[in-house]
Structure 1
Amino acid sequence: MTSPKPNTVHDGGRYFEGPRWHAGRLWFVDCMARTLLSLAPSGECEQHAKFDDDTPCGLGVLPDGSIIVLTMSRKRLLAYSEGKLSLYADLSGIATGTIDDMIVDGLGRAYVGDLGFDLPPPPDRGAVGRLLLVMPDGAARVVADGLRFPNGIAVSADNNRLVVAEMDGDGLAEYDIAADGGLNFRRRFGTMKSPDGICLDQKQAVWVASFDEDAFIRLDREGRELQRIEIPGRRALACVLGGPERRTLFCLSAATSYEELRQRKSSSRIDVVEVEVAGAGNP
């Protein structure tokens, strides 16, 4: 397999996460700078919001176009619309640990990863992670548990399949989505080191940002590796398929290490690669 060479389209950030293609722009956050940003196809980057009291991470897009931003320590989802932030959901009463990544499906249901412990992660953390569901009416409940550091989450275009990366489990977990938004565990598949952000394509394959392999990896539904995009010396953080035909893979990475992260040292950028199979579902 030939590894395509990524093309850098934006550089100079600290720690980019949560990429979502929406309304002709790439939306994402800089966790360390605590900002919500978007990138135009021309390369122009715009800052939309600043989070003074917490660290933003996962993003989602509601059917009405509002951006939902997760903030990790205060365990909140904030809605960004028309230049303003407002509280969308307070999960501090249900989350047992730091909340991390999230996705909003095509029906406006938000799936949120609850680590089950507070960061930095304890050495004996185990399989204590959960997925929380926030319905459009604000009702929240636990829909999955027993996960090893739930990270990136993706939902299929028909809103019937959910995949979540288990960063400590070195693989992916797949669920069937019930009519009421509940999750029924199907299986675990794929093997890679420290999977972070993920996205789906039209052939039901999963693109995975492998933090400890310095690569973005495409797996088929059986977990077989189909393609690999290497970024030597950089940590793969998250990815999404966007652009006019959703065939542009946006690859978010950082030059950092676990020790440097503890010291808040990191330099982040966004690269792109054109792929054959277009994106599907959310993100």
Structure 2
Amino acid sequence: MMATAGAREDIGVSFLDAQLLVDCKNLLGEGVQWHPRRRRLFWTDIKGQALWSCDEVGGNLKTKALDAPLCSFAFCDDGRMLGAFADGLAWLDPITGQRRLFEDYQTEAVGVRMNDGGVDRQGRFVVGGIDEAERKPITPVWSVDRGRVRVVIDDVAIANSIAFSPDGRVMYFTDTVEGEIRAYDYNPATGTPSKRRSFVSLGEGEGKPDGSTVDVEGGLWNARFGGGAVARYLPDGTLDTIIRVPVPNVTSCALGGPTMRRLFITTAQIEMTPAMLDANPQAGGLYVVDVPVRGIQQVSYKR
């Protein structure tokens, strides 16, 4: 009952419609991930300073208030999370909400915080930042490898779309203000991206690229902030599928559920006027659509 309407074909592109799963009204829903062992979905409301979770049909909904904005996170095998908070990296207990900060993130810079992150196939957490104040390219992207932090990309305004190909040899990334998703060769042994190239650029009216996930066929699913959609691109950059989301600010997506064929989609209320919010009362909700391709099981951060 939570699945989509049927698909249609239009110049080779499939269209599906997402449906509301949880009317959570997040200010900035982000970082959605499926935890296969717990059989639960987790996501964060960055501006609402809360960690949310539910089962695959939106039931057993839980929310945990946090003492700082949680921007993205990685699961750990011991039940904790590695959290990228606004002020830095911390170990987070998702049950109690308690955290222990261990690495500050540019605390001297006004308006700068951590942002999107993703775990590579070897268990490193790759995470970037955002200059919320001026959208200037002044933040680094970190690779967190067994507690060791190093910079792998520099001079970024808004880090997003951090995801990895099934074999772990391609890393996807965007500086959202540029409107372009990049691809890099990625060395699984060292966790080093190289040979930057353009993967896809969004056109006028399509929104800006936000969070992404990759499926077993190597398709990249990318949320379009301001574009009311999630787009799937084939490994060669060809547009394959559009998921229409009935609110404009689409922020992140993840494949999960028992069959790994449910695409969960977070949205946001930020950057919407009162008139826009009146016209989109379910903005900030969690959406879902069933798709014909499986996701890849989330890798835990290796401590």
Same-fold call, TM cutoff 0.5:
yes
Q: How far apart are residue 48 of structure 1 and its match?
A: 5.3
Is contact 2:31–2:73 with CA below 8 Å preserved after alignment? Answer: yes
**Which TM-score applies when normalising by structure 1?**
0.84
1:75 matches 2:88: yes
Worse overlay, 91-100 or 232-241: 91-100
Instruction: Provide, for residues 184-242 of structure 1, a one-character-per-residue CA deviation record: whole Å limited to 9, x for no partner.
Output: 23412112231111100112111010112111111112222111112244211111111
The amino acid of 2:197's aligned partner reads R
Counterpart in the other structure of 1:30: 45
Distance 1:88 1:183 in 2: 27
- State yes or no: 1:248 paired with 2:262: yes
> In the alignment, which of 270, 274, 288 is matched to residue 272 of structure 1?
288
1:134 to 110, 120, 144: 144
Distance 2:270 2:96 in 1: 32
Residue 191 (structure 2) pairs with residue 175 (structure 1): no
Name the residue aligned to 1:185: 195
Contact 2:92-2:99 within 8 A present in 1 as well? yes
Deviates most, 167-176 or 19-28: 167-176
Distance 1:181 1:256, change over 3 A: closer
Matches within 5 A, 1:8-19: 8-14=20-26, 15-19=28-32
Asked if structure 2 preserves the Cα contact closer than 8 Å seen for 1:148 and 1:169, the reply is no
Question: Of the candidates 243, 252, 255, which is equivalent to residue 238 of structure 1?
Answer: 252
Q: How many residue pairs were aligned?
A: 272
Name 2:113's counterpart in structure 1: 98
Match of 1:7 in 2: 19
Do residues 151 (structure 1) and 166 (structure 2) align?
no
Contact kept? 1:35, 1:47, Cα under 8 Å: no
Q: Could you tell me the TM-score, scaled by structure 2's length?
A: 0.79
Name the SS for the 1:20 alignment partner.
strand
1:49 alignment counterpart: 64
Structure 2 segments unaligned to the other structure (5+ residues) = 1-8, 275-280
Q: Which letter does structure 2 place at the counterpart of 1:17?
A: E
Which whole-Å CA distance do the structure 1 matches of 2:53 and 2:249 have between them?
Answer: 21
Distance change >3 Å, CA 213–CA 93, structure 1 → 2: closer
Q: Distance in 2 between matches of 1:6 and 1:272?
A: 5
**What's the RMSD between the two structures over aligned residues?**
2.7
Please state whether the residue corresponding to 1:107 is helix, strand or coil: coil
- For structure 1, list consecutive stretches of 5 or more residues without a partner in the other structure: none
Structure 2 contact 85–113 (Cα < 8 Å) conserved? no
1:272 positional shift: 1.1
Q: More deviation in 265-274 or 2-11?
A: 265-274
Task: Write out per-residue CA displacement over residues 54-98 of structure 1, whole angstroms, 9 at most, x where no aligned residue.
Answer: 2112121234443222211x1233332664533263133699642
Amino acid at match of 1:105: D
CA contact (8 A) 2:64 2:94 kept: no
- Aligned identity (percent) is 24
Greater relative CO (CA pairs within 8 A, separation 6+): 2
CA distance in 2, matches of 1:237, 1:102: 13
Task: Return the offset for 1:11.
Answer: 0.6
